[in-house]
Structure 1
Amino acid sequence: MKLLVFLLLPCLSLSEVVPGFSKCRKFFVYKVPPKFTPELSNTQKICQCVWDEYDEQKYLYATLYNTDWRIPVYSAYVFYRSESVGRCDPWYIEPQLDEDAEPCMAPKGCTICNNQAVNSDYEKQDPNNPYDKGHLYPVQHTYNHVSMLATSTLTNAAPQDSTFNRGQWKKHEKDVATDLTACESEAYVVTGVVPNTNIPTLKDRVTVSKYYWRATCCLKNGVYTGKGYFGPDGNNKIVTPLSITALQRKLAIDYGVNTIVIFPGVEGGCE
């Protein structure tokens, strides 16, 4: 009776831990996910989905989640022309990350969620330095009510400075949406988080973001073209835009890996 549950809880968001993104590769250009060399440890591949009116799972984006940091590394999605949708913010967890048999995201599932953030991690914060649950796949980039619902999961969020999240980053999301309307076909987006391991975690559990980053790739004038962004920088500003190559170099240093290729399925990396 999954359909009944969905109808009774209209804000319910679901997801599924899937090896190799096998059920949601359509959210990557040519179905090839970002490549980290070496691969990041302690990560899980999640295909984010909701139950539709036919009692079937509808996959809406993909997330690489770090169970050590308890925040996502990135979420990848296809941008369609946005519609104005009402926002609903019930926050859910991924039971499978803590060995629960429930195959999809649910309001609760694990007694102690060792491998993921929970709502209580964001409660009773320092009022002088509060953090929002910052979306990686943001509401502003969703295209209908169902896709909006699917963004409200803690596996798609990381602690983000509230002033930056509600100010410059929100404006940035709107500007990116405007830019992507000029694409000639599907626009692929990967939004990620670089963790700040040098400051206290929330509730000694959830790693705070150092900065967010975003990379876009789509056909313009018949050629795959991309842009990169990150923020805040050292001056609390958004660096926008920069080349995909420049962004990858920065991310490789900050993630502590040799190389990162955000769009490995595209010849030239979507420059």
Structure 2
Amino acid sequence: MTPPALLLLLLFISLAEGHVVQSFKGTCGQFFITDPKDQNNHIPPTILTDNQDPDRYKQICQRYSSQYRYATLYDTQNRIPVYSAYQYTGHTKLKRKTTWMIEPQLDELTASRSMGSESKVDKSKRGNYQALNKDFNSTYHKGHLYPVCHNDNQPCAYATFTLTNAAPQTSSDNLDWYHKVEAKVNKELEKICNTAHIVTGVVPGSKWMKKDNREVNIPSHFWTAYCCTGKPGGPVTRAVLAQTNPLTIDNNVVTVDDLNQKLSSLYGSSIPATGFEVFGSVCK
């Protein structure tokens, strides 16, 4: 291969990896909390690992309409996200998409850099490493991690409609999570903070949605935490952990540090010995 051809190939690969990335920080670090001692240092939540399958967890800079909108750590084995991280700047009533997208590069590295319809991936590869629309049934909704209602921007709201940002949730749990968590966060942040960082995630459970020899894990827990920096007296934070089906809020989890301790136990061997941290040492 001649040098120019090699350079062209390397350029193509780098463009193709602009979405499923090796590290969040180099592409979409802006969606994570900033180290107050170094404004150029963005701190993502703990990245899970699997020694038996090093490629299991994928870092996705969620791209829609030519812009990065938020970030997601995705579990290709369970076909559900681990967490989605985004910056909250307010909310307003916005339109919802009627169809759900996928992340093409999870199944085919050289596919589109942006989320898109399932047709963006060759049928023989489609869904090998992620959930598809056909995997969901009437029992389970596509439960948003980054919700529509935490948006004041229509393209960002549309960008939440990708299955890499959704996990199975019963109809009643979906409604309860909205009223007891998502809507309450809106009201709280309206009073105390114009801008906040939020991370919402799930913990894999022991049950699965099964259809046509395909499986998608049903989470045992949903969780979320926000951190509002730049306030007198230090950051303002809150955290929620809820068991699923039926949704039951853990009243012992009220601080980010409480959540870190619980998630360190729930994620087990997938995290380092230092434990799970949502916002590093910035917000506790």
Q: Same fold (TM over 0.5)?
A: yes
| Residue 122 (structure 2) pairs with residue 122 (structure 1) | no
Which of 13, 22, 29 lines up with 1:25 in the alignment?
29
Report the counterpart of residue 215 of structure 2 in structure 1: 205
| Residue 282 (structure 2) pairs with residue 263 (structure 1) | no
For residues 238 and 103 of structure 1, do their structure 2 counterparts lie closer, same or farther at Cα, with a shift above 3 Å needed?
same
Displacement of 1:185 in angstroms is 5.2
Aligned residue pairs, count = 242
Deviates more, 1:202-211 or 1:90-99: 202-211
Displacement of 1:243 in angstroms is 1.4
Distance 1:96 1:233 in 2: 30
Report the counterpart of residue 229 of structure 1 in structure 2: 240
Deviates more, 1:155-164 or 1:174-183: 174-183
Distance 2:46 2:220 in 1: 21
What SS does structure 2 have at the residue aligned with 1:227? strand
What SS does structure 1 have at the residue aligned with 2:146? coil
Report the counterpart of residue 175 of structure 1 in structure 2: 184
Deviations 1:22-47 (A, max 9, x none): 211101011110125x6355111111
Displacement of 1:73 in angstroms is 0.2
Report the counterpart of residue 251 of structure 1 in structure 2: 263
For residues 235 and 50 of structure 1, do their structure 2 counterparts lie closer, same or farther at Cα, with a shift above 3 Å needed?
closer
Q: Give the gaps of 5 or more residues in structure 2.
A: 1-17, 35-41
Displacement of 1:165 in angstroms is 0.6
Report the counterpart of residue 12 of structure 1 in structure 2: none
What SS does structure 2 have at the residue aligned with 1:242? coil
Report the counterpart of residue 6 of structure 1 in structure 2: none
Q: Give the gaps of 5 or more residues in structure 1.
A: 1-14, 52-56
Report the counterpart of residue 62 of structure 2 in structure 1: 48
Alignment of 1:30-109 (within 5 A): 30=34, 31-36=42-47, 39-40=49-50, 42-51=56-65, 57-101=66-110, 102-108=112-118, 109=121
The letter of the residue matching 2:216 is V
For residues 230 and 110 of structure 1, do their structure 2 counterparts lie closer, same or farther at Cα, with a shift above 3 Å needed?
farther
Contact 2:90/2:194, CA 8 A, preserved across alignment: no
Identity %: 38
Displacement of 1:192 in angstroms is 0.2
Contact 1:24/1:47, CA 8 A, preserved across alignment: yes
Distance 2:89 2:194 in 1: 9
For residues 110 and 238 of structure 1, do their structure 2 counterparts lie closer, same or farther at Cα, with a shift above 3 Å needed?
farther
Report the counterpart of residue 13 of structure 2 in structure 1: none
Report the counterpart of residue 227 of structure 2 in structure 1: 217
Contact 2:241/2:249, CA 8 A, preserved across alignment: yes
Contact 1:29/1:265, CA 8 A, preserved across alignment: no
Distance 2:239 2:72 in 1: 19
